[in-house]
Amino acid sequence: MMKEWLLPIVSAALGSLSFAMFFGVRSRKLWLSLLGGALNWGLYLLAMKKIGLPATMAYALGAAAGTLYAEILARIVKTPVTVFVITSVIPMVPGGSLYYTMLGLLQGDKATFVDRGLYTLSAAGAMALGIFAATMLFRLLFTVGRAVCSAVRRAH
């Protein structure tokens, strides 16, 4: 049971760390990228294996969690949000599925091409939707919070 969860989460964390290094993230912030990848993939696995959500919903949930993590962290460490969004969400990119989609196309296997292609598109779309929803929710709450704080300061 532990290996079933630990190995994929550690692999995702190391993948995030690798991309953070590739993108030139400063060394003192690398561990934050590593943590984002682990959190993102851990929530994805939790949604799929424990809660039993469909894959597309798990992709959306994982991407939304990674985006919220990035939004909060970017403000704490004063770094652009994209640094942490990209590195935390990168392990979820359906690269294997995209490979099999293209392989099906090149080999003329229409069934594989359509099946894997639809899965790849739905996974990528769900990730984009999760990122968008989390970003808009965070910005809305952040804007409302600032407005409330300003109103309270003016009242006193």
Give the closest residue to 46 by CA, choosing from 31, 30, 58.
Answer: 58
pLDDT band at 119 (very low <50, low <70, confident <90, very high): very high
Q: Maximum CA pair distance of the chain?
A: 71
pLDDT band at 102 (very low <50, low <70, confident <90, very high): very high
* Residue 3 main-chain phi, psi, to 5 deg: -65, -35
Establish how many alpha carbons lie within 13 A of residue 72's alpha carbon, considering only the half-sphere containing its beta carbon: 11
Which two three-digit tokens encode residue 113?
């091409």
pLDDT at 2: 67
- Burial class from Cβ neighbours inside 10 Å (0-12, 13-18, 19+) for residue 128 reads middle
pLDDT band at 121 (very low <50, low <70, confident <90, very high): very high
Mean of per-residue pLDDT scores for the chain:
89
Which two three-digit tokens encode residue 49?
């294996």
CA distance 66 to 138: 12
Asked whether residue 147 carries a pLDDT value surpassing 60, the answer given is yes
pLDDT band at 50 (very low <50, low <70, confident <90, very high): confident
- Burial class from Cβ neighbours inside 10 Å (0-12, 13-18, 19+) for residue 91 reads buried
Beta strands (DSSP E) in the chain are none
pLDDT band at 1 (very low <50, low <70, confident <90, very high): low
Contact 38, 9 (CB under 8 A): yes
* Residue 147 main-chain phi, psi, to 5 deg: -65, -40
